[in-house]
Amino acid sequence: MLLRSILFQTAFLGWSTLVALYALIPLALGNRQQLFGIGGVWSDGINILLRLLCGIEIRIEGAEHIPAGPAMIAAKHQSLWDTAIVLRLFRGPAIVMKQELLRIPIYGALCRAQGMIAVDRDGGAKALKAMLKDARAAAAEGRKILIFPQGTRTRPGEHVPYQPGVAALYRDLKLPVVPVALNSGFFWPKHGVRRRPGTIVLRFLAPIPAGLDRDTFMKELETRIESANATLEAETRALL
């Protein structure tokens, strides 16, 4: 198992480098739509490598809950996989990400070119204003806006407080929010190279409508995600 995990990590890095180098062409040409397509291909390649080298299958549930047009997607975050898969599930999602990631060579430039929403977590009111401006622009283009409301990757069963940024976006954008539960941390953990065979499940839940007050929204979002994730994690543990 460890050998297969190391092979996957090597192949993953090679695949990511190859895709990033190819993406330099549409990046130089300013072709955002082609960059969106390349993101989906990158995601597909990762899932193929997971299946072939690690025995990990992928299952997406509840896609019927995704509204047409712009919406917020608020997801649990346990793995790098969570970010990659949305590039296939949605064309050109605007992902809320920490600003430090923009400093990574090539990757940062690709994120800027695709209109990702970078947040300076120490920037206070100025950073919040910039985040909302970028999110409004993405919503006006009809894009899905992905946010990890806890602001960091967590281990299965780990509790981390939900951050206020998701409430600010909800209030400002006036869009429905689709909560997401997942179990990727069992198979592609936060730390280490070991990958465990099984099935990664991403489960879309019924959307929370726009218009709730801040406290009601935050309580509803956390309750739905944490409850669904606890159920999914129990299902996963029973199969391991």
pLDDT band (50, 70, 90) for residue 124: confident
pLDDT at residue 93 greater than cutoff 80: yes
Closest CA relative to residue 108, chosen from 120, 98, 122: 98
Look at 103-107, 120-124, 193-197 and tell me which has the smallest mean pLDDT. 120-124
53 sits in which H/E element: helix 32-54
Report the CATH architecture of 57-239. 3-Layer(aba) Sandwich (3.40)
Q: What is the mean pLDDT of the chain?
A: 96
**What are the b/e assignments for 147-165, b being 16+ CB within 10 Å?**
bbbbbebbebeeeeebbeb
Return the SS3 of 196.
coil
Query: What contacts 229, CB < 8 A, 6 or more positions away?
Result: 76, 181, 182, 183
C-alpha to C-alpha distance for 93 and 146, rounded to whole angstroms: 7
Backbone φ and ψ for 14, nearest 5 degrees, come out as -65, -45
C-alpha to C-alpha distance for 224 and 182, rounded to whole angstroms: 12
pLDDT at residue 158 greater than cutoff 90: yes
pLDDT at residue 42 greater than cutoff 80: yes
Boundaries of every domain in the chain: 57-239
Which whole number is the average pLDDT over 76-93?
Answer: 97
pLDDT of residue 85: 98
pLDDT band (50, 70, 90) for residue 161: very high
pTM, entire model: 0.95
C-alpha to C-alpha distance for 190 and 79, rounded to whole angstroms: 6
**Percent above pLDDT 90 for the chain:** 93
Which whole number is the average pLDDT over 76-105?
Answer: 95
